Structure 1
Amino acid sequence: MREIKAFIREKRSNEVIEALRDAGFNSLTVSEAEGTGKYTKKDDMPSFRFPVTHSKMSKLEIVCKKEDVEAIVKTIHEHGGTGERGDGLVYVSEVSKIYKVRTGKESREDI
């Protein structure tokens, strides 16, 4: 199993989510994120909640089968990218175990 975390521009998140769902990847978590990357442009403003950040992003999290990673990353790239600096980043990590909250037991289910 793998976990994919993608930080993408807020304005591209709906298109990415729709493309992932169309490709059969329905289970994902979406949240607001703010960052302090190297990317800055003239009209960037500091966050009102976090004074050191300037880039509003969407964070997508997906746990998937190892063989689905490339398709998911490709979909995020194709629908999330604008070709300009600051489009975001994608991280892929290994998931060693999954536990059910309801039972507290390790899940053997395939996603």
Structure 2
Amino acid sequence: MIMIRAIVRPEKTNTILAELNSAGFPAVTKIDVVGRGKQKGVRIGDVIYDEIPKEMLMMVVGDEDKEDVINIILKYAKTGEKGNYGDGKIFVSPVEEVYTISSGKKGL
């Protein structure tokens, strides 16, 4: 199993979630976050905005679904044809075990 965390622009979230759902991946946790990337925020005049609003989408999928989910996020999170700074990041990590609290069942 794989945990995928995607930090994306808030205006892209609904499209990404709809596409994931259509592809058979409805289980997602969404969290409002703020932060900055390599560009160290955005400078407008004398003001530097270094807490830029983003949304984090988290999901656990089977190893065989990893590439499909990543490709959906990459396709629908990108702004413009080539993408832009601030479009986000995707983090992928292994998951050892998953349990459903209500049933105590192990696994997805």
User: Which of the five TM-score ranges fits, normalised by the shorter chain?
Assistant: 0.7 to 0.9
How many residue pairs are counted as aligned between the two chains? 102
Give percent identity, aligned residues only.
27
CA RMSD after TM alignment: 1.8
Task: Mark the runs of 5 or more structure 1 residues left unpaired by the alignment.
Answer: 47-52
Name the one with the larger strand percent: 2
Structure 2 residue matching 1:11: 3-state secondary structure = helix
TM (norm. structure 2) is 0.84
1:56-75 counterparts in 2 under 5 A? 56-75=53-72
Structure 2 residue matching 1:58: 3-state secondary structure = strand
The alpha carbon displacement at 1:58 in A equals 0.6
Q: Which runs of 4+ in 1 moved over 2 A?
A: 38-46, 99-103
- The 2-side partners of 1:38 and 1:61 are apart by 22
TM (norm. structure 1) is 0.81
Q: State the one-letter code of the partner of 1:19.
A: E
- The 2-side partners of 1:78 and 1:24 are apart by 16
For 1:34, the equivalent position in structure 2 comes to: 34
Can you list the C-alpha shifts for 1:37-88, whole angstroms capped at 9, x where unaligned?
A: 2233344864xxxxxx421101000100001010000000100111001110
- The 2-side partners of 1:63 and 1:71 are apart by 13
- The 1-side partners of 2:48 and 2:70 are apart by 29
Q: State the one-letter code of the partner of 2:99.
A: Y
